[in-house]
Amino acid sequence: MRIFDRRFGADLLAAVPEAPGVYRFLDDAGVVLYVGKAANLRRRLAQYRTAGRRKAHRKRRAIVQGAARVEWEVCESELAASLAEIRLIQALRPPRNVVSAFSFLYPYIGIRTGAAGETYLCLTTSPGAFPSFAFHGAFRTRDVTREAFYSLARLLRWAGHPVPRHHCRKLEVAPHSRVVGFRRLAADASAQWARLLEGASRDPLEALALRLLEHPGARAKRREIHEDLKAVARFFAREAQALARARAATGYARYPVPQEDRDLLFAEFRHVPRAGPAMPARPARRAPSARRTAPASRAASDGPAMSAGPTAARRATAEARGSAASAAG
């Protein structure tokens, strides 16, 4: 007999509805071990019944072995099930759940302008402790956000003058927070970097990269500079821009997004209908004679086109192919 049947009864699945909902595995003391969601409760719980000894099934098998009973609740839709699951995980923090269980650790990045025109950046999970900062987030991936914060701090050292560490430390009023500051940045530096942090534009990063190209010291450390630029760009794409898109698609107005709302927001975002990309038209098949004449035409155009840049080269190549096809016709 399967361990699932010994624990919960061989006829349990017959009583489970084929509907969206949430389910909970509980131990002998009634403590919730795991919370999950399903578009079809019976089908999902059947996967726990058939879990084998393969590595991919290890978690399901361990949950069944530790549980004494299973409960479920039917929801009106898959979205309602997703939202209910997140709320239960946040409230109960079951030991077998990791995703959404620690939303209070989701970081923010704040920015402010000092009295003397300094630009300060703050990385924290406690934005309420820093009322003078305008915060952005909450961001989900702590490693990506932290790496981007320190990479941006290193990059801004080339554009301005760091505020002494002991001055910044006085602003770190919450544990596990970090504040860095810079003097002699552009007057609109705070506003520009705020646009990047809120996912609106990566123009400030590109402008900084161009400025560093003219800095001899930065050019000497181009490998380190390149890695720091990549880290900030990765944060912009994966965290800041992703959050901006989710807010726009769902109409979520509150900002910064509270930590406990971040996963709920993205659950709604995943259920927003999105139009698929238009299928590109299939290129017309070229005649064999056009294929033979196109290389010669390309060779004739490569000289001036390459000197004008890769875009011009592609344009000239396309024109040459079109001319060759016309001639073949």
CA distances 234 to 142, 144, 149, 154, Å, are: 13, 8, 12, 16
Domain presence at residue 302: no
- Whole-angstrom distance, CA of residue 251 vs CA of residue 189: 28
314 CB-near residues (< 8 Å, 6+ apart): none
130 and 48 inside one domain: no
Q: For residue 329, tell me if it sits in a domain.
A: no
Across the range 285-302, mean pLDDT stands at 44
Answer yes or no: is 22 within a domain.
yes
**Residues 216, 118 within the same domain:** yes
291 pLDDT more than 70: no
Same domain as 233, residue 187: yes
pTM comes to: 0.79
- 280 domain residue, yes or no: no
pLDDT value for 89: 97
**Angstrom distance (rounded) from CA 215 to CA 235:** 24
Measured CA to CA, the distance from residue 52 to residue 49 in angstroms comes to 9
Contact call for residues 320 and 298 (beta carbons, < 8 A): yes
Q: Which has the higher per-residue pLDDT, 231 or 286? A: 231
| Structural domains of the chain, count | 2
Cis-peptide, bond into residue 107, ω within 30° of zero:
no
Give the pLDDT of residue 281.
58
Same domain, 109 and 184: yes
Q: Which residues, listed in sequence order, are joined to residue 36 by a DSSP beta bridge?
A: 23
CB 242 within 8 A of CB 121: no
Sequence-distant (≥ 6) Cβ neighbours of residue 112 within 8 angstroms: 119, 120, 122, 132, 133, 134, 190
Q: Could you tell me the two tokens for 233?
A: 């760009």
pLDDT of residue 277: 59
Residue 49 lies in a domain: yes
Give the pLDDT confidence of 46-97 residue by residue, as tens digits: 999 999 888 888 999 999 999 999 999 999 999 999 999 999 999 999 999 9
Dump pLDDT digits (tens) for 223-273.
Answer: 999 999 999 999 999 999 999 999 999 999 999 999 999 999 999 999 998
Q: Output the pLDDT for position 283.
A: 60
For 278, 284, 307, 322, the CA distances from 281, given in Å and listed in that order, are 9, 9, 31, 17
Task: Report whether pLDDT(324) > 70.
Answer: no
- Per-residue pLDDT for 207 more than 50? yes
- Looking at the fold, whether 78 and 120 belong to one and the same domain comes out as no
Q: Quote the domain boundaries for residue 10.
A: 3-101
d(CA 197, CA 205): 11
Instruction: Say yes or no: 45 and 180 in one domain.
Output: no
Residue 303: the pLDDT is 41
Same-domain status, 249 and 132 = yes
Distance CA 257, CA 90 (A): 16
Q: Give the H/E segment covering residue 74.
A: strand 69-74
Residues 40 and 108 in one domain: no
The pLDDT score that the predictor gives to residue 195 is: 97
One domain, residues 229 and 114: yes
pLDDT tier at 282 (50, 70, 90 boundaries)?
low
Q: Which is more confident, 326 or 76?
A: 76
> What is the C-alpha to C-alpha distance for residues 48 and 6, in angstroms, rounded to an integer?
13
- Side chain identity at 175, as an amino acid letter? P
- Give yes or no: residues 109 and 242 share one domain: yes
| pLDDT over threshold 70, residue 309 | no
Place of tokens 């919730």: 32
Model confidence band, residue 275 (pLDDT cutoffs 50, 70, 90): low
Whether residue 255 contacts residue 135, with contact meaning beta carbons closer than 8 Å, is answered with: no
One domain, residues 245 and 108: yes
Per-residue pLDDT at 274: 75
Of 101, 126, 141, the last residue of a domain is: 101
Position 271 in a domain: no
What residue has token string 């099930």?
81
Strand order in the sheet with 32-38: 32-38, 21-26, 69-74
Residue 7 is part of a domain; what is its CATH number? 3.40.1440.10
Q: Are residues 45 and 138 in the same domain?
A: no
Query: Is 214 domain-assigned?
Result: yes
Is 76 among the domain residues? yes
Q: Which of 53, 72, 101 is the last residue of a domain?
A: 101
Q: What is the pLDDT of residue 206?
A: 96
Name the pLDDT band for 34 (thresholds 50, 70, 90).
very high
> What pLDDT score does 276 carry?
59
Q: Decide: 268 and 262 in contact? Cβ < 8 Å.
A: no
Domain final residue, candidates 101, 124, 146: 101
> What pLDDT, on the 0 to 100 scale, is given for residue 278?
56
pLDDT tens-digit map of 154-176: 999 999 999 999 999 999 999 99
Q: How many CA atoms lie within 13 A of 48 on its CB side?
A: 29
121-133 pLDDT, tens per residue?
A: 999 999 999 999 9
